[in-house]
């Protein structure tokens, strides 16, 4: 099958890319990024600074499934608007483009605590993208809701690093839903979800990805 992967330079997206390229289930992985990725015979790597502008060309490659592992923080993005562009607007733009192009399978990384009614801008945005991606009408939709994500990142997040260390220390006494979710496990879960492609909308929660 052909996979379109959004967010291939992030922690989860990077591991998803590695696992997909080593899995014979995937004949082609298209992963648009800002900077070139390491070459691979099955990798198509368009370079762009405005991801949404590539949507028509990417859909012309006729992917069988889309995985959206896009995600940032307000501190890194620089503003609420810039954060919302990455975590809400792009997933919805590509969701609509994919559905229009006949793609029936979509998987997205959200967050534990996502709710459109949340007082937190971060969790409210995640809840809104969950709500609106469901309205598009995919035959198979998977929404992963991890807790804090463990694994290598391309940028330092000091507060998140401290929280990860604390969660690992307290793991023996914490409920499983508060354990660290390794990027490897989330990536494998995403790939399994699009290979199986169960009909309907399915949530996969943090305690299932420890």
pLDDT in tens, 138-175: 999 999 999 888 756 555 555 555 555 544 554 555 45
Tell me how far apart the alpha carbons of residues 138 and 120 are, in angstroms, rounded to a whole number.
28
CATH number, domain 2-208, options 3.40.50.720, 3.50.50.60, 2.40.40.20, 3.40.366.10: 3.40.50.720
Q: What is the pLDDT of residues 15-57, one digit of tens each?
A: 999 999 999 999 999 999 999 999 999 999 999 989 999 999 9
Q: Tokens 């660290």 — which residue?
A: 180
Neighbours of 67 (CB within 10 A): 31
Average pLDDT, whole number, for the chain? Answer: 90
Residue 201 backbone phi and psi in degrees, to 5: -100, 130
């Amino acid at each position: 099958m052909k996979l379109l992967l959004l967010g291939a330079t992030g922690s989860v997206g990077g591991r998803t890319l590695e696992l997909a390229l080593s899995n014979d289930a995937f004949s082609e992985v298209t992963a648009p990024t800002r900077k070139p990725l390491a070459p691979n015979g099955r990798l198509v790597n368009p370079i762009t600074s405005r991801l949404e502008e590539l949507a028509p060309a990417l859909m012309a490659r006729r992917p069988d499934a889309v995985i959206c592992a896009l995600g940032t923080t307000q501190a890194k993005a620089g503003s609420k608007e810039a954060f919302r562009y990455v975590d809400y607007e792009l997933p919805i733009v590509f969701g609509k483009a994919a559905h229009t192009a006949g793609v029936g399978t979509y998987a997205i990384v959200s967050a534990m605590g996502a709710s459109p009614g949340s007082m937190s801008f971060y969790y409210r945005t995640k809840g809104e993208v969950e709500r609106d991606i469901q309205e598009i009408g995919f035959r198979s939709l998977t929404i992963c809701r991890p807790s804090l994500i463990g694994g290598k990142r391309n940028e330092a997040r000091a507060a998140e690093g401290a929280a990860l260390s604390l969660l690992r220390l307290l793991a023996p006494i914490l409920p499983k839903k508060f354990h660290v979710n390794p990027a490897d496990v989330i990536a494998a879960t995403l790939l399994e979800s699009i290979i199986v492609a169960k009909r309907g909308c399915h949530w996969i929660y943090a305690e299932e990805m420890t």
